[in-house]
Amino acid sequence: MPKGEYLGEFEQLVILALLRLERNAYGMTVRRELEKTAQRPVALGAVYATLDRLEDKGLVASWHTDPDPSRGGHPRRYFKVEPAGEQALARSRAIMQRMWDGVELGELGEATS
């Protein structure tokens, strides 16, 4: 499998957030979902950079709403996961599961043999 077909951890988290948010997935809601569910701080710029990269890979798609007066006339950009994105996420999950099989963490979180 070519290098570009593997998902990094943050890419996986972003795709999972899109799936959780369904039709309400835009930059800020993705950021909030990541911060709430993954319990880690997330920069909005990192979210948009990752969404753009995933779109370039054909794993997500985006569309714009009509200009919104309450947003200063700016449209909102929504995202959805494409079938290729779901497949890439499933591959990543399977890889991680294979890697975790047979691994037990010790008391301090270190792998034990």
Domain assignment of residue 87, given as a range: 3-95
Number of domains observed in the structure of the chain = 1
Distance, CA of 8 to CA of 16 (rounded, Å): 12
Q: For residue 79, is it within any domain?
A: yes
Per-residue model confidence (pLDDT) at position 67: 79
Distance, CA of 77 to CA of 97 (rounded, Å): 33
Domain with residue 25: its CATH number is: 1.10.10.10
Per-residue model confidence (pLDDT) at position 25: 96
Output the DSSP codes for 6-66. Answer: SPPHHHHHHHHHHHHHGGG-BHHHHHHHIIIII-S---HHHHHHHHHHHHHTTSEEEEE--
Q: For residue 110, is it within any domain?
A: no
Q: For residue 70, is it within any domain?
A: yes
Distance, CA of 77 to CA of 25 (rounded, Å): 9
**Element of type H or E holding 88:** helix 83-100
Per-residue model confidence (pLDDT) at position 110: 62
- pTM, two decimals, is 0.85
Residues of the chain with pLDDT under 70: 1-5, 108-113
